A and B are shown apart, each in its own frame.
Chain A
Amino acid sequence: MGIQKDTVKFNVGGRIFQTTATTIANAGRDSFFGALFDDNWDLRRQQQPNSRQEFFIDRNPDCFAVLLDLLRTGDLYIPSNVPERLLCREAMFYGLTDHVRSAKWGPFDGNRLKLSRSVTGRAPGDGTAIRAGPDGGCCVAHGSMVHVFDWMLEEHPPINLDYQRVNDIGWINAENVLISACERLGKGDGGMGLFSSSTGDLRHKFNVVHDNQIKSFTAGALGFSPDYKIFASCKGRSNEYGIGVWDQVTGKQMDFFYESPGWSLGDADKLQWLNASNCLLVATLFPRKDNCYISLLDFREKRMVWSWSDIGAPLTIDEKRVQDAIAMEECNSICVVNEYDDLGFIDLRVNGGSVRWSSRSRLLKGKMPDEPCYPKLALHNEQLFSSMNDCISVFCGPDWVLTSRLRRSYGGSICNFSIGGDRLFALHSEENVFDVWETPPLPVI
């Protein structure tokens, strides 16, 4: 009897399951089971009168079996007769979605990634951008539409901002997506809007104010800081170019950094908040402009604290142009990439220094695809990712050694990719398809 005390009996949709209270405790307090066995509900008393009462649950027994197994072992095994969607719905009922999600794929490691799914979209034309959400979902911008997918890769209602061309997208949190779009001349359309990721409702539209007047604007690249600020490169029609700053909580404009003559901020391709130095990296790159401009802005002093440009730099024969840039604060440098997938580094401690190219990959030369895509960079947990044509290279270590390559022959060149929620999303240009790469859970043995 002493051993039996711990056992629990469930009747789920007519099927009897027996398990232990210890297994059920793995579900955590914030779940159906956690509440069911809480002292507040006083179930012990009901259970005690030697009736060995079973708990009836009016749910699908097949899914319960899978989830019970998940609680027992921590491993998710979905038999072929259980559709994933059904399982997820049941997990929602029990409050076990987090368990399912973390059992499906492990903590992100660029060197262990496996292609998990390919999702084909219905939108015409090339995608603009893909952004990974914090909980494993993603959103994809196609022309004037943004398609939102949750972590099960179920598509939610699409989002648009007055059907204007979308320039950039960003996740505020798992519930909210920010869109920056072109303005429609004279109509006040476009700009920047905040949408619910699940319902697609517009929740807030952001304004830009110049001289106490609300102006319409085209919003470009987006950036976020941990102290709840939103940054966006802005182009107004009366030459009000620069970087706008908004408060995520109130949605109000806080600041505006005007572009100085001879420099470029309002057309930026990339914004990146640097936490340690309390600065915003703004990069405007070839081919959007003829020259590249990279600068660090300090908003407290309204000052450009660091800058680099290739204006006036002698053109070499192979004409290396910087096409993406990413700041790596730990290494005090900015990593850049050119059209030949060469990585270069600029020292952040020296103002206006030069690019130190690492002449790594001559191999690629000569086999350029017909429709090249501009290379992109990303940094995650001290791993550097660089996309080129149809593959993504992973670099590790202090000298950024090439350690892995992610490649798939279908879908054409990768025009954009993003890492988040322990997943990597790669958007391909030709077939309007995006790939989801995950780190598989550790092997059983």
Chain B
Amino acid sequence: MSNQKKRNFQIEAFKHRVVVDPKYAEKTWKILEHAIHEIYNHNASGLSFEELYRNAYNMVLHKFGEKLYSGLVTTMTAHLKEISKSIEAAQGDLFLEELNRKWNDHNKALQMIRDILMYMDRTYIPNSRKTPVYELGLNLWRDNIIHSGKIQSRLLSTLLELVHRERTGEVIDRGLMRNTIKMLMDLGSSVYQDDFEKPFLEVSAEFYKVESQKFIECCDCGDYLKKAEIRLNEEIERIAHYLDVKSEAKITNVVEKEMIANHMTRLVHMENSGLVNMLLDDKYEDLGRMYNLFKRVPNGLSMIRDVMTSHLRETGKQLVTDAESSKDPVEFVQRLLDERDKYDKIICQAFSNAKTFQNALNSSFEYFINLNSRSPEFISLFVDDKLRKGLKGVSEEDVEIILDKVMMLFRYLQEKDVFEKYYKQHLAKRLLSGKTVSDDAERSLIVKLKTECGYQFTSKLEGMFTDMKTSQDTMQGFYANHPELAEGPTLVVQVLTTGSWPTQPTITCNLPTEMAALCEKFRSHYLGTHTGRRLSWQTNMGTADIKATFGKGQKHELNVSTYQMCVLMLFNNADRLSYKEIEQATEIPASDLKRCLQSMACVKGKNVLRKEPMSKDIGTDDAFFVNDKFTSKFYKVKIGTVVAQKESEPEKLETRQRVEEDRKPQIEAAIVRIMKSRRVLDHNNVIAEVTKQLQSRFLANPTEIKKRIESLIEREFLERDSDDRKLYRYLA
């Protein structure tokens, strides 16, 4: 180091400077600039791509990238200013065409310029963080053409005017429109949004506001919806034809808001054509349209649903509380089913089977069916009717459909146990009288009930079927053991298990002696084969077939009830019997006796007895004779008892009481079950849980639950907490 300092001369580095022609860059750029002019002037055929590319490459290579780039910006800007003038000068409709033509020219030129400057695009631009040539061309177009003062507003108004003209039914040049919009989109989504989409949406909102006002004044609901739908589809189509797909949601939103959301209430409640009228007239198409349109706006569907629900509840309420309809249970249930079918169809066809609508339908039915306390009885009667005769000649599938529908109604019932009670009674009658049409249908319904409510619900009903089967076997055994009985009257006994069948206080009547003897034989046979059982006769439920010969020798077979048989048998030994005598001899309860005499003496065509005096009602002083003049077209004559189909008022009360009585142990059992697992629980929760547990059978009455709790406390199953009187404790 110190040596070097001492030296007073320095060796000059031998540098070989490369001298570049100082005008090289300028010359090369002139060539390229000329080429750009020629390209814009559609005069490119004379240019050599290879030469231009090489020149541009060389400029970048020799570090003149900056010059090349700034030259490009200046030249292109100058050309665009020219273009801008020629577009401004275009008259009227030619404006858009000129704009489009120039845009296409510019695009083509841009592509060619980019080709020439490809090497700069690849190397110089990323290193110097400049805008690539293509984007640069678009940006310059945007700034010099689209955003130039004279073009910007004219372009917007032209586009909006065209859309407006198309909305009013004119045919416009969609291709031109599409190209122009595409240009805006190519320039960047913000250009499209700011320079077209935003004003377009505003103008559309105004347009539809005015139009919807006009429509709602003069159209009915269905027509209005049709028009709204058409408009909506038009807008969607417009998007597909010449707007950006991203605008679809926005413009449909505008139409939805202006045409539907703002007029929703008025449409739904429109007089003579609103939703309720559509429902009444089953206008599936209109309803479907309303559903599809309202679905698009917030709260639209809930509005339809609410109106439908309240309408449904109103009509349903009228239906079930109408005194007229309560007269015929079958008709009553049929009308409910029809109503359900109607709405099922509406929901399925018009409301695309929406779950929420189905729920609304169900809750409405649940609401009004339970308004009439006799609904369970009526439904059971409906089934009874169907299973007695209604299903004759109906195919198995159709039977299933009817039963399924009935089950649907059954599901709505809160007091399922009441239904069970009636169903049991009706089933018993059907089974005992052999009136049931189809064993399969009966069993199928039982299975449905079982799946719906569980094993407990149907165990007794199933017991009844078992009894019927065993009785058949028993009778076969009885006659096999007593071959001597083949002669004489035939006895058919059905042995019913107590508890499974609806029991009635048994008042045994005096059977005719022949029958009494036979019965006695059966009793000893039965008790001989089954030990530890007790038999009692339910004469009120039996039937008999008897052969009778009348005055002129006309022979008939009479199909009568056991009571009727007892009465008729008396006339084997007497011609005239007074009411008192009959009552004494048979010991049939007065109300039943009256009914059975009435059916034999007062019904035309079935009057095997004659009565003095001739009157409609049976008096205790009446006298009866065999009607010798009885004739009938048929050999077999069925004499029905005047049955009370529906329950009479006192009977109803009685059934009700029995139901209440039956509920007590169930409630108690529920309380004990709950308390056993919870140990300690407060009053409100007990009520809630009990209600929940019993829901599938009936709606437990809170006061009744309270009474049951009191009773359980008395019997020391539970106790009240000494501190908190609301709290119950389970006593093990």
Residues of A within 8 A of B (CB): 30-32, 35-36, 38, 40-43, 45, 55-58, 92-93, 95, 175, 196, 198-199, 203
Q: Is B363 an interface residue (CB 8 A)?
A: no
Cβ-defined partner of B50 (8 Å) among A57, A196, A203: A57
Stretch at the interface among B24-32, B122-130, B266-274, B506-514: B122-130
Q: Note all chain A residues with C-beta closer than 8 A to B112.
A: 40-41
Q: Note all chain A residues with C-beta closer than 8 A to B57.
A: 93
Minimum CB–CB distance from A98 to chain B (whole Å) comes to 10
Q: Is B119 an interface residue (CB 8 A)?
A: yes
Q: Note all chain B residues with C-beta closer than 8 A to A38.
A: 111, 115
Minimum CB–CB distance from B663 to chain A (whole Å) comes to 51
Q: Note all chain A residues with C-beta closer than 8 A to B129.
A: 203
Q: Is B49 an interface residue (CB 8 A)?
A: yes
Minimum CB–CB distance from A328 to chain B (whole Å) comes to 34
Within 8 A of A (CB), among B44-77: 44-45, 47, 49-50, 53-54, 57
Q: Note all chain B residues with C-beta closer than 8 A to A35.
A: 49, 53, 115-116, 118
Bound CA–CA A331/B446 (angstroms): 53
Is the Cβ of A175 less than 8 Å from the Cβ of B44? no
Bound CA–CA A141/B53 (angstroms): 39
Q: Note all chain B residues with C-beta closer than 8 A to A58.
A: 50, 54
Given A40-B108, A40-B112, A42-B44 in contact, is the A30-B118 Cβ separation under 8 Å? yes
Q: Which residue of A lies closest to B114 (CB)?
A: A35
Bound CA–CA A36/B48 (angstroms): 9
Q: Which residue of A lies closest to B109 (CB)?
A: A40
Minimum CB–CB distance from B129 to chain A (whole Å) comes to 8
Q: Note all chain A residues with C-beta closer than 8 A to B49.
A: 35-36, 41, 43
Q: Note all chain B residues with C-beta closer than 8 A to A175.
A: 126-127
Is the Cβ of A45 less than 8 Å from the Cβ of B115? no
Given A35-B115, A55-B50, A56-B50 in contact, is the A40-B44 Cβ separation under 8 Å? yes
Cβ-defined partner of A92 (8 Å) among B44, B54, B123: B123
Q: Which 8 A-B pairs have CB atoms at the shortest separation, nearest pair first?
A: A35-B115, A41-B49, A40-B112, A198-B127, A175-B126, A42-B45, A36-B49, A57-B50
Within 8 A of A (CB), among B65-120: 108, 111-112, 115-116, 118-119
Residues of B within 8 A of A (CB): 44-45, 47, 49-50, 53-54, 57, 108, 111-112, 115-116, 118-119, 122-123, 126-127, 129
Is the Cβ of B115 less than 8 Å from the Cβ of A40? yes
Q: Note all chain A residues with C-beta closer than 8 A to B122.
A: 92, 95
Q: Note all chain B residues with C-beta closer than 8 A to A41.
A: 44, 47, 49, 112, 115
Minimum CB–CB distance from B32 to chain A (whole Å) comes to 15
Is the Cβ of A196 less than 8 Å from the Cβ of B44? no
Q: Which residue of A lies closest to B123 (CB)?
A: A92
Beyond A41-B112, A55-B50, 8 additional pairs, beta carbon < 8 A: A35-B53, A36-B53, A41-B44, A41-B49, A58-B50, A58-B54, A92-B122, A93-B119
Q: Note all chain B residues with C-beta closer than 8 A to A93.
A: 57, 119
Bound CA–CA A55/B57 (angstroms): 18
Minimum CB–CB distance from A10 to chain B (whole Å) comes to 10
Q: Note all chain A residues with C-beta closer than 8 A to B47.
A: 41
Minimum CB–CB distance from B45 to chain A (whole Å) comes to 5
Q: Note all chain B residues with C-beta closer than 8 A to A45.
A: 45
Given A40-B112, A40-B115, A95-B122 in contact, is the A199-B50 Cβ separation under 8 Å? no
Is the Cβ of B127 less than 8 Å from the Cβ of A196? yes
Q: Note all chain A residues with C-beta closer than 8 A to B50.
A: 36, 55-58
Q: Note all chain A residues with C-beta closer than 8 A to B45.
A: 42, 45
Q: Which residue of B lies closest to A175 (CB)?
A: B126
Is the Cβ of B111 less than 8 Å from the Cβ of A40? yes
Q: Note all chain A residues with C-beta closer than 8 A to B115.
A: 35, 38, 40-41
Bound CA–CA A40/B52 (angstroms): 14
Minimum CB–CB distance from B568 to chain A (whole Å) comes to 87
Q: Note all chain B residues with C-beta closer than 8 A to A55.
A: 50
Minimum CB–CB distance from A250 to chain B (whole Å) comes to 14
Bound CA–CA A175/B123 (angstroms): 11
Minimum CB–CB distance from B118 to chain A (whole Å) comes to 6
Minimum CB–CB distance from B632 to chain A (whole Å) comes to 87
Q: Note all chain B residues with C-beta closer than 8 A to A57.
A: 50
Q: Note all chain A residues with C-beta closer than 8 A to B119.
A: 92-93, 95
Bound CA–CA A17/B116 (angstroms): 23
Bound CA–CA A175/B127 (angstroms): 7
Bound CA–CA A132/B54 (angstroms): 33
Q: Which residue of B lies closest to A41 (CB)?
A: B49
Bound CA–CA A38/B123 (angstroms): 22
Q: Which residue of A lies closest to B111 (CB)?
A: A40
Minimum CB–CB distance from A51 to chain B (whole Å) comes to 15
Bound CA–CA A57/B49 (angstroms): 10
Q: Which residue of A lies closest to B57 (CB)?
A: A93
Minimum CB–CB distance from A32 to chain B (whole Å) comes to 6
Minimum CB–CB distance from A16 to chain B (whole Å) comes to 15
Contact sample, A vs B, 28 pairs, CB 8 Å cutoff: A31-B118, A32-B53, A32-B118, A35-B118, A36-B49, A36-B50, A36-B53, A38-B115, A40-B108, A40-B111, A40-B112, A41-B49, A41-B112, A41-B115, A43-B49, A45-B45, A55-B50, A56-B50, A57-B50, A58-B50, A92-B119, A92-B122, A93-B119, A196-B127, A198-B126, A198-B127, A199-B127, A203-B129
Minimum CB–CB distance from A299 to chain B (whole Å) comes to 28
Q: Which residue of B lies closest to A31 (CB)?
A: B118
Bound CA–CA A31/B53 (angstroms): 11
